């Protein structure tokens, strides 16, 4: 709402609501609270009941056709009216040129402190069409700029609203001209395309060509280096290339245009709460510490559970199958989600990344790796629904940081939702596009946190209010300033690790094929353990990092410490002479330090189906021929000096790595005077 006279915000007196929304359901509250600021009223209500529904009355009371959401100053901006005009509500004066000048000043100021600016562009639909007072394009050429059902003639609305038709030449021109305007005159550095899959691929390629024509000398813009990415989802009337070849995930390989990588996302988190309930992901307990809804047989010794360990808290064979499938998704995702990346899958097969429709990129820059963004629940919120209800806060924070580590340490483009570093919450609101500042706020002072500030708006959450109420009132979930400060420090340390070496940011598919390898793979892998090496050794060719010969990252999603044996130690053990290293397991052995967990007749604590399990208190190791070059490893200096005392216990001794529970440990091999040895991918 650009007009302050018709707006109500959280710092206004509560009685202001009734001035704009005259409804009997609100009059008594307006009389009761009077001049008390709306924010203060909401704070009182949430303090009394973290799952209160009273906050929703101004938004959602029965009979209210236009609630507070229609009058506040908040909106995501997905209601395109004029594509080339900055939003006026953010300017000091929405009339005239002030909004233009102030946006340019903002971009310039951000650039001066080293920050690039991305604009989320929404060309796939308009706010209105036809005879609506907010219709624009139909006033230019009626019926041309939008997409219609060829049989019924009805306007297509699969995006949410009135779909545009970029397959029509002048709509394509509008998109390209508009992006050029934002790049050239506002110096925008990157463009994120909402529902990019609703546009033809050739439109996106033509846009790249147009941007490539912008130069610093002529336009003040380095056009070829502007980054384009978007949502390559495949749905609606255009699905499966029905009308044109879409700009969807599996169609965009080789273009250099980024796509959101939901393969890695769903492997890590197990899907979103709204769509998948409490179904767990790799990082939040699948098989390893099942939640209360994982099945009555989870962790018990009965006919439906193949676990023979009655003391185990792990899930059943179905949960294990889910976990191993999720691990494969994550491995491919961390290898830039390349369709051409070769690895050993959970069945012991050497496959390409495109197997099982996982990988779809041909260049690492085409994979935008993320766990959460503005759509659906935040990472913190979604994770709380997956975890066992009795888990303590320290463990919950570790799960959150482990989840982000898969993004930070993977090849491709890392993407985070604002506030993920401070455990951002929207109190389980799955669609906060119009939920106002109360649910969308991020308090960078860390004085407040948005978990348990009332039930989220009913328009997209009502069906799950009963479940949400249970989570918001769980006494084991209570975020304070210390938690947020710790999470923020750990997040920054992860970023410092990523940017300490170019090996985390390989630029080509060939470099990833050659340098990135995964260990502890195949059917006998230790559950919950992903081991990734990145080589800068002699086998990789020209060195990229003068300081290192290689990096090994171990992700331990178990709630117990785990060990990974490279097979190079001098301790006694059962050697595997089968020569099968790299078939069922492409090097290395792993174990859970505790009681060996078994499924059926095979021990899941082994990393090779022909070897002996490692259990706590033994010196035996899973037999392998070793991982050549894995010597002289040390925990990354940033983690050694970091804020997490738990990760500082990670160690490499006599060829064996030990990693604490719920941790991502990064080990490095410092380079000597010349390029040393470090294993490359055996399946380039």
The verdict on residue 445 lying in a domain is no
Question: Is the pLDDT at 546 greater than 80, yes or no?
Answer: yes
- Please, where are the H alpha helices in 270-427? 273-276, 317-334, 379-386, 393-408
**Considering 220, 236, 252, which residue would you say is the last residue of a domain?**
252
Residue 264: the pLDDT is 98
CB 106 within 8 A of CB 113: no
The verdict on residue 74 lying in a domain is no
- What kind and span of H or E run contains 462? none
The verdict on residue 433 lying in a domain is no
Residue 3: the pLDDT is 76
Tally of domains within the chain? 2
Percent of the chain with pLDDT over 90: 79
Q: Cα separation of 36 and 39, whole Å?
A: 8
**Considering 236, 252, 268, which residue would you say is the last residue of a domain?**
252
Q: Which residues are catalytic?
A: 194, 231
Question: Is the pLDDT at 13 greater than 70, yes or no?
Answer: yes
CB 530 within 8 A of CB 518: yes
> Which domain, by its residues, includes 622?
517-670
Residue 494, SS3?
helix
The verdict on residue 621 lying in a domain is yes
Confidence of residue 22 (pLDDT cuts 50, 70, 90): confident
- List, for residues 564-609, the tens digit of each pLDDT value: 999 865 433 322 322 222 333 334 445 443 332 323 323 233 233 2
Selection from 315, 364, 368, 311 nearest residue 340 by Cα: 364
CB 183 within 8 A of CB 104: no
Mean pLDDT, the chain, rounded, equals 89
Residue 491: the pLDDT is 99
The verdict on residue 504 lying in a domain is no
Joined together, the tokens standing for residue 144 give: 């041309």
Confidence of residue 89 (pLDDT cuts 50, 70, 90): confident
Selection from 256, 231, 7 nearest residue 125 by Cα: 231
The verdict on residue 148 lying in a domain is yes
Residue 628: the pLDDT is 64
Query: Which string of DSSP letters, residue by residue, matches 597-651?
Result: PEETTEETT-SSTTSPPP-TT----------TT--S-EE-HHHHTSS-TTGGG-E
CATH of the domain at 227: 3.20.20.80
Mean pLDDT across 229-248: 99
Residue 333: the pLDDT is 99
**Residue 445's CB: how many other CB atoms inside 10 A?**
7
Confidence of residue 271 (pLDDT cuts 50, 70, 90): confident
85: left (phi over 0), alpha (psi -120 to 50) or beta: beta
**Considering 233, 252, 271, which residue would you say is the last residue of a domain?**
252
Residue 311: the pLDDT is 33
Confidence of residue 1 (pLDDT cuts 50, 70, 90): low
Question: Is the pLDDT at 65 greater than 60, yes or no?
Answer: yes
Report which of residues 493 and 434 the model is more confident about.
493
- List, for residues 294-330, the tens digit of each pLDDT value: 964 333 323 333 332 323 468 899 999 999 999 999 9
CB 636 within 8 A of CB 669: no
- At which residue do the structure tokens 């002030």 appear? 98
Query: Which string of DSSP letters, residue by residue, matches 88-102?
Result: GGGSS--STTHHHHH
Lowest mean pLDDT among 16-30, 106-120, 294-308: 294-308
Distances (CA, A) of 189 to 117, 131, 228, 259: 5, 36, 9, 17
Joined together, the tokens standing for residue 91 give: 């300017």
Lowest mean pLDDT among 91-100, 110-119, 534-543: 91-100
- At which residue do the structure tokens 């030449």 appear? 169
Selection from 414, 418, 448, 446 nearest residue 432 by Cα: 418
Residue 589: the pLDDT is 47
- Please, where are the H alpha helices in 191-341? 201-212, 216-219, 262-269, 273-276, 317-334
- Please, where are the H alpha helices in 214-292? 216-219, 262-269, 273-276
The verdict on residue 434 lying in a domain is no
Q: Are strands 562-565 and 598-599 parallel, antiparallel or unpaired?
A: unpaired
- List, for residues 189-211, the tens digit of each pLDDT value: 999 999 999 999 999 999 999 99
Give the sheet arrangement for strand 656-659, strand by strand: 589-592, 562-565, 656-659, 651-653
Residue 644: the pLDDT is 98
Distances (CA, A) of 226 to 126, 417, 440: 25, 21, 29
The verdict on residue 574 lying in a domain is yes
Half-sphere exposure of 419 (CA within 13 A, CB side): 23
Q: What global pTM score does this model have?
A: 0.90
- List, for residues 120-151, the tens digit of each pLDDT value: 999 999 999 999 999 999 999 999 999 999 99
Question: Is the pLDDT at 53 greater than 90, yes or no?
Answer: yes
586: CB partners within 8 A, 6+ apart: 343, 344, 517, 518, 519, 521, 522, 682, 683
CATH of the domain at 606: 2.60.40.1180
Lowest mean pLDDT among 44-53, 71-80, 367-376, 662-671: 71-80
Residue 674: the pLDDT is 84
- At which residue do the structure tokens 């091999």 appear? 669
């Amino acid at each position: 709402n650009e007009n302050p006279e018709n707006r109500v915000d959280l710092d206004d007196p509560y009685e202001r609501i009734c001035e704009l929304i005259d409804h009997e359901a609100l009059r008594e509250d307006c009389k009761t609270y009077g001049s008390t600021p709306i924010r203060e009223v909401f704070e009182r209500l949430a303090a009394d009941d973290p799952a209160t529904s009273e906050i929703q009355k101004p938004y959602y009371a029965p009979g209210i056709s236009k609630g507070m959401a229609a009058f506040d100053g908040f909106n995501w901006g997905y209601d395109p009216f004029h594509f080339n005009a900055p939003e006026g509500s953010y300017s000091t004066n929405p009339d005239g040129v002030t909004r233009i000048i102030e946006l340019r000043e903002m971009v310039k100021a951000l650039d001066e402190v080293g920050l690039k600016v991305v604009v989320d562009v929404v060309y796939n639909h308009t706010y209105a069409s036809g005879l609506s007072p907010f219709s624009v394009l139909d006033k230019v050429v009626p019926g041309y700029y939008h997409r219609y059902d060829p049989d019924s003639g009805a306007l297509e609305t699969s995006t949410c609203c009135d779909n545009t038709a970029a397959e029509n030449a002048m709509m394509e021109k509008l998109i390209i001209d508009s992006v050029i305007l934002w790049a050239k005159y506002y110096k925008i550095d990157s463009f994120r395309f909402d529902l990019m899959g609703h546009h033809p691929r050739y439109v996106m390629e033509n846009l790249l060509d147009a941007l490539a024509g912008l130069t610093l000398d002529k336009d003040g813009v380095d056009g070829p280096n502007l980054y384009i990415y978007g949502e390559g989802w495949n749905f609606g009337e255009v699905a499966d290339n029905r009308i044109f070849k879409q700009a969807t995930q599996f169609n965009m390989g080789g273009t250099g245009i980024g796509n959101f990588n939901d393969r890695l996302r769903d492997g890590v988190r197990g899907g979103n709460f709204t769509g998948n309930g409490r179904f767990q992901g790799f990082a939040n307990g699948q098989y390893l510490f099942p939640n209360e809804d994982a099945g009555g047989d989870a962790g018990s010794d009965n006919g439906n559970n193949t676990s023979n360990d009655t003391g185990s808290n792990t899930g059943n064979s179905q949960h294990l199958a889910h976990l191993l499938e999720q691990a494969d998704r994550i491995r491919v995702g961390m290898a830039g989600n390349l369709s051409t990346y070769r690895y050993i899958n959970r069945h012991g097969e050497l496959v390409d990344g495109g197997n099982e429709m996982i990988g779809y990129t041909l260049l690492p820059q085409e994979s935008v790796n993320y766990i959460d963004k503005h759509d659906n629940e935040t990472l913190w919120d979604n994770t709380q629904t997956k975890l066992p209800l009795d888990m303590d806060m320290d463990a919950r924070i570790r799960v959150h940081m482990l989840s982000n580590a898969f993004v930070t340490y993977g090849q491709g483009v890392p993407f985070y939702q604002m506030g993920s570093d401070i455990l951002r919450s929207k109190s389980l609101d799955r669609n906060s596009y119009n939920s106002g500042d109360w649910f969308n706020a991020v308090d960078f002072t860390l004085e407040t946190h948005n978990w348990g500030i009332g039930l989220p708006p009913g328009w997209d959450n009502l069906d799950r209010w009963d479940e949400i109420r249970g989570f918001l009132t769980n006494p084991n979930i209570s975020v304070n300033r210390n938690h947020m400060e710790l999470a923020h420090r750990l997040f920054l340390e992860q970023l410092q690790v990523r940017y300490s070496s170019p090996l985390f940011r390989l630029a080509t598919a060939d470099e990833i094929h050659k340098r990135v390898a995964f260990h502890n793979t195949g059917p006998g892998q230790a559950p919950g353990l992903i081991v990734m090496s990145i080589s800068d050794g002699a086998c990789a060719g020209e060195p990229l990092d003068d300081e290192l010969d290689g990096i090994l990252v171990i992700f331990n999603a178990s709630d117990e410490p785990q060990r990974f044996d490279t097979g190079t130690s001098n301790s006694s053990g059962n050697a595997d002479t089968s020569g099968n290293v790299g078939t069922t397991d492409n090097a290395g052995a792993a174990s859970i330090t505790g009681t060996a967990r078994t499924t059926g007749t095979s021990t899941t604590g082994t990393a090779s189906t022909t070897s002996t399990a490692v259990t706590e208190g033994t010196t035996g190791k899973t037999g392998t021929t070793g991982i050549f070059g894995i010597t002289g490893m040390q925990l990354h200096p940033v983690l050694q000096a970091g804020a997490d005392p738990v990760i500082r216990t990670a160690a490499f001794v006599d060829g064996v790595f030990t990693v604490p529970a719920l941790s991502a440990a990064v080990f490095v091999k410092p380079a000597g005077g010349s390029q040393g040895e470090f294993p490359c991918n055996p399946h380039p």
